[in-house]
Amino acid sequence: MIMAVLALGGAYLVIRDLPTTEELTVQAGSPSFIASDGAPILQEGRYVGAEVALADLPPHVVQAALAIEDRNFYHHVGVNPLSIVRALVVNLREGDIRQGGSTITQQLAKNLFLSRDRTIIRKLQEAFLAIRLERRFTKDELLALYLNRAYFGGGAYGIAAAADRYFDKAPTELSVGEAAILAGLLQAPTRYAPNAHPEIAGERAREVLVAMVDAGFLDYFAAEEIASRPIRLRRDPLFAAPYFLDAARRETRDLFGDDRQMPVDAIVRTTLSASAQKALVDGVDAGISLARLPGDVEVAAVLIDGAGAVRAMIGGRDYAASQFNRAVDARRQPGSAFKPFVFLAALEAGASPYDVVSDTPVGVAGWRPSNYGDKFHGDVSLTEALAVSANAATIRVQETIGRPVVRAAARRMGVSSPLSDGPALALGVDVMTPLELAAAYAPFANGGYRVKPYFVERIADPLGRTVERREASYYDRAAEPWAIERMKGMLRAVVTEGTGRAAAIPGVDVGGKTGTSQESRDAWFVGYARGYVLAVWTGRDDNTPMQDITGGGAAAVLWREAMGRVLASDVEPAAAVTPALMSARIVPINEGGPSVAPVAPRRKRSAPR
């Protein structure tokens, strides 16, 4: 009776703090973020890869892990009694935990649920959990989960992160030698790290190859030949996109809200393109140098595709110095970058790109805006007025068709920020973010559909099961195809013969618009090419003037250098409009009819290009 009580008491000590296997998919946890192509994104020291199906891995990758860690994996029930007895004998002889005798399933149980304490109680808990895991999941599911969760050193969690971290490869591309190095890391990631201890890592890899031969996975002579080949390690920095990552984290939290739990250690596949992000960073750096941008002038840039997916982002010049994401949160005046919405409204009202408008001094209820440099152009076509960013001509166009019509066009295109009622509306006096303005230009790139920008494509649990998916954020038509095509011709003229010449990319059809707010407090270039939209903003955080920095100068140079590199990179093709949306109609906006009602006088404004 006493022995039974003691046994029950011991069992209680083992299981009282034991988590359930159900917690694997329902417990809240910190998600890991990956790029759209599966490339892990470095985040605060953790480098977590995408889940990889066992069937997608080369056989030698799986065999290397089995040979060195648990070659009887497919023949035990979660624990291996012989290994446990052997380890127990060693530990009793040494008087401490020297050998584990753990199966892969036990290691998985420890990684998922338990602490790193090396105690007898924890080893018993590990065994109990391993048996329960074996009853719930198939062997292949357990092995895939193990390889996708194991720590390989260097901040890399999972086989995908490890392959990228050490070899700059996808896990499907690993050679036998590389697989042996990674399998060797499973026992002691720090000790066998190839970048820190290449000789020790090489010796450990040879042990793995010998184990593969003993297990019948590899021929002896093949192993000798593999062991003689040098293994090249990755030398370039790990992939990081801190501003994008912050925005993706925010969207992930919003997707789940307060009433839903995220799976423990969920994998969040984002819209980020690793190649586009690198190209954007390199291009902006080159543009800053070419434009000789002062050190106190900040930069933001955001690249989206025609479906609204954010493919790359820069929220400032130095994340370590300032984590404020100017691409998402900075609300600044777009200046003349707002003008395309004025001219789009005019085209929809029946105007032609070739209609003539007077660019001479104009006044509205005592307010008399001037052109940049006080230069007027006389009679010009609508295309010329947009190309040279003629303020007076633009005001005349707006006052003819009515400000509510302009506001309605901007709303349909995707501008969500409050818009003023006065005549200065046409000159971009209302503040908005670079991301918002990029999204409002997306209809010019995708054939006329309004989009909502997004950062997260899919959220999965550690087994790869989808728990949340975000499709392309197309809304209804923003403008009819004929109006979009005419506007594209006008925006092309901005680059070929107007204020945006510095944004031209040889051999590429580029359309866009410069924008500079009063006293050069903000300088923009927003444009599109091959289905992508890129918005570039420069300015000072304290909103002080930048003297001679304009949208047609520094911003256009940064745009050209960045977009040119993005298009030259291996960025995935831009999303196309889905056929189901082809019949979508324009959504009416309750802005009222045309109006040219007088407004209160404002001080004279010199709105640049």
User: How far is the first Cα of the chain from the last one, in angstroms, to the nearest whole number?
Assistant: 92
Q: What are the tokens at 523? A: 């300088």
Residue with tokens 């030259």: 568
Q: Note whether 428 and 335 are within 8 A (CB).
A: yes
Distance CA 262, CA 245 (A): 17
Q: Give the per-residue SS3 of 279-340.
A: HHHHHHHHHHHHHCCCCCCEEEEEEEECCCEEEEEECCCCCCCCCCCHHHHCCECCHHHHHH
Distance CA 342, CA 339 (A): 5
Tell me which amino acid residue 553 is. G
Q: Which residues pair with 523 in a beta bridge?
A: 516, 538
Nearest to 324 by CA among 223, 242, 413, 425: 242
Distance CA 312, CA 367 (A): 41
Distance CA 511, CA 305 (A): 15
Q: How far is the CA of 234 from the CAs of 163, 248, 304, 356, in angstroms?
A: 10, 27, 29, 60
CB-facing half-sphere around the CA of 267: CA atoms within 13 A: 27
Distance CA 51, CA 61 (A): 15
In this structure, which long-range contacts are made by residues 232-237, counting pairs with CB atoms below 8 Å and at least 24 apart in sequence? 232/167, 233/166, 233/167, 233/194, 233/195, 233/198, 234/164, 234/165, 234/166, 234/167, 234/168, 236/168
Among the listed residues 336, 389, 520, 569, the single catalytic one is 336
Residue with tokens 């007027």: 376
Tell me which amino acid residue 102 is. S
Distance CA 180, CA 364 (A): 76
Backbone dihedral region for residue 373 (phi beyond 0: left; psi -120 to 50: alpha; all else: beta): left
Tell me which amino acid residue 82 is. L
DSSP string, 80-136: -HHHHHHHHHHHHHHTS-------HHHHHHHHHH--S---HHHHHHHHHHHHHHHHH
Among the listed residues 36, 51, 69, 102, the single catalytic one is 69
Q: What are the tokens at 360? A: 């001479």
Distance CA 266, CA 191 (A): 28
**Coil, strand or helix at 522:** strand
Distance CA 268, CA 457 (A): 8
Residue 51 a catalytic site member: no
Q: Note whether 552 and 504 are within 8 A (CB).
A: no
Let me know if 349 is exposed, middle or buried by CB neighbors in 10 A (0-12, 13-18, 19+).
Answer: middle
Q: What are the tokens at 41? A: 């994104």
Residue 69 a catalytic site member: yes
Polymer length in residues for the chain? 609
Distance CA 307, CA 445 (A): 9
Distance CA 94, CA 309 (A): 58
Tell me which amino acid residue 65 is. A
Distance CA 540, CA 543 (A): 5
Q: Which residues are known to be catalytic?
A: 69, 336
